[in-house]
Amino acid sequence: MIVMKFGGSSLADVPALERVASIIEGRRARRPLVVVSAHKGVTDQLIAAGRAARAGGVDGADAILGELRARHEELALAVGLDIEEPRALLDRLETVLHGVGLLRELTPRTLDFVTSFGERLSARNLSALLRHRGTPSAAFDAWDLGMLTDGKFGRARPRPECEERIEAAVAALPEGEIAVTTGFIGRDRRGRVNTLGRNGSDYTAAIFAGAVRAEELEIWTDVSGVLTADPRVVAAASPVAALSFEEAAEVACYGAKVVHPSTLEPARRHGVPIRVLNTFEPDQPGTQITEGGAGADEAAPVKAIAHKGGQSVVNVRSTRMLGQHGFLSRIARAFARHEVVVDMIATSEVSVSLTVPPTKGLGAVLVDLRKLGEVTVEEGRTELCVVGSHLRDTKGIAGRVFGALADADVNVEMISQGASRLNLGVVVADADAATAIRSLHRALFE
């Protein structure tokens, strides 16, 4: 069995859906289980609808709801789905949005419920299209195939028993019928809908692939694999042939949106190789992600440049703590207490610098940190990360990286090398990021 995941841009309209259906049909012999995102742009619209209802009252979301109805009814008609199916789902959505409008309140729980409709609608449309084309198929909400989540709205994780439940549910599916299931969403033990966070369908697909011990997990998107840099910044970015799970995790964690960072763990744990492929150019080889990362560019010292903008750097300085133990652990505890994630860290005897994503919790962390020393915060920073397992054993890479940044006249504000030594990270101002990335790409890949 293989698991195939299709992202929103692969499911944008009827021609895209037809393309996806023929890709799936071409792999029928490998018994695909299909995981889908919402149609392109729908999750954004659902979030906007929730907020519009909160701000504008009962009619606040009517305009967006109207657009969603028109689009989904048109799609349903084109793929041969009984129009009553999307209508029933959208009626429920409308009721919830009216509730939001009446209360003028949009809790994380309600937002998760609202956003879950995107995937529920797209799974039904794709499955209907397969049937329309003569391929037996059925649509599922992920919870009907065993997906049980932990109740953390907006960032849910699967519960430990989830894998066994999925394995059993998938084993019970009728032979020869292609199951199309929702990415991104699950239900907790109290039956409440949770989402796994933006871009979470990749993660759902990996959970399924791990649970059924799939031969392969295919992530189908709108670019030909993981590229050497974000193509929106570097026009010359090209696909990386092969990555190890470790390298892919670094690339994903440091901002390459193409694979959700949590995707790697379940696949790796069960030894399921991942391939990232392009729906619009299905014959391209894409990127293969495996334990050892064997492939054409295996020996390349640098595989990709990842970046993440809009971060903050927190500096903590304390001469009082000079030579005393426990300084780092106190700092770490302050972040842990308020559940704020730290990415990069650089330390000296009396000071520590850490990068954090934009988060509401930071204010509370700063209050705690100020008890330990002098604290400053710099906002609007980009983490740039050069990734490759051969960084460890290739001389001169750091020289090339800093040379390229100096050539671009970019000031490096912080430097960090991961303990595994397969990444070299620097922090620059957001305003310098694009120049820095292009210069690095020229120096390392062009």
List interacting residues with ligand ASP (CB under 6 A).
7-8, 37-38, 43, 118, 183-184, 198-201
Residue number closest to Mg ion, CB atom: 199
- Determine which residue in the list 52, 68, 217, 258 makes contact with ligand ADP, applying CB under 6 A: 258
H or E element at residue 345: strand 345-347
CB nearer to ligand ADP: give 37 or 125. Answer: 37
264 binds ligand ADP (CB under 6 A): no
Applying CB under 6 A, does 170 fall inside the site for ligand ADP?
A: no
Stretch that binds Mg ion, among 6-14, 148-156, 168-176, 293-301 (CB under 5 A): 6-14
Q: Which CB atom, from 182 or from 244, has the smaller least distance to ligand ASP? A: 182
Stretch that binds Mg ion, among 23-31, 193-201, 363-371, 407-415 (CB under 5 A): 193-201
Residue type at position 295: G
Return the residues of window 37-66 that contact ligand ADP according to CB under 6 A. Answer: 37
What's the token pair of residue 348? 């000296």
Stretch that binds ligand ADP, among 157-165, 219-227, 324-332, 393-401 (CB under 6 A): 219-227
Q: Does 7 bind ligand ADP (CB under 6 A)?
A: yes
Encoded tokens for 94: 């409308």
Min CB(50)–ligand ASP separation in Å: 14
State how far Cα 387 lies from the chain centre.
18
Q: How far apart are CA 142 and CA 443, in angstroms?
A: 45
Cα(164)–Cα(46) distance, integer angstroms:
32
Structure-token match 């937002």, residue found = 111
- Is 7 a binder of Mg ion (CB under 5 A)? yes
Site string for ligand ADP, 302-331 (x = CB under 6 A): --x---------------------------
What DSSP line would sit under 36-103, residue for residue?
E-PSTTHHHHHHHHHHHHHHH-TTTTHHHHHHHHHHHHHHHHHHT--THHHHHHHHHHHHHHHHHHHH
Q: How many CB atoms lie within 10 A of CB 411?
A: 11
Quick check: 60 binds Mg ion (CB under 5 A)?
Answer: no
Is 425 a binding residue for Mg ion by CB under 5 A? The answer is no
Task: For residues 139 and 121, give the distance between their C-alpha atoms in angstroms, rounded to a whole number.
Answer: 10
As a residue count, the chain comes to 446
Single out the residue of 256, 267, 316, 356 in contact with ligand ADP (rule: CB under 6 A).
256
The two three-digit tokens of residue 234, written as one number: 């570097």
User: Residues 329 to 358: which contact Mg ion by CB under 5 A?
Assistant: none
Query: Restricting to residues 222-251, which ones interact with ligand ADP according to CB under 6 A?
Result: 222-223, 226-227, 229-232
* Euclidean distance between CA atoms 271 and 263, whole angstroms: 13
At 328, the amino acid letter reads L
Q: How far is the CB of 197 from ligand ASP (least distance, A)?
A: 8
- When asked if residue 199 is in the footprint of Mg ion (CB under 5 A), the reply is yes
146 or 183: CB nearest ligand ASP: 183
Residue nearer to ligand ASP on the CB measure, 47 or 434: 47
Closest CA to 402 of 374, 426, 422: 426
DSSP for residue 420: T
Give the residue at shortest CB distance from ligand ADP.
7
- 206 within 8 A of 4, measured Cβ to Cβ: no
Rounded to a whole number of angstroms, the minimum distance from the CB of residue 357 to Mg ion is 18
Q: Which residues of 236-248 are buried (b: 16+ CB within 10 A; e: fewer)?
A: ebbbbbbbbbbbb
**Nearer Cβ to ligand ASP (8/225):** 8
Strand 304-317 vs strand 351-356: parallel, antiparallel, or unpaired?
Answer: antiparallel
Interface contacts to ligand ADP, rule CB under 6 A = 7-10, 37, 199, 221-223, 226-227, 229-232, 256-258, 304
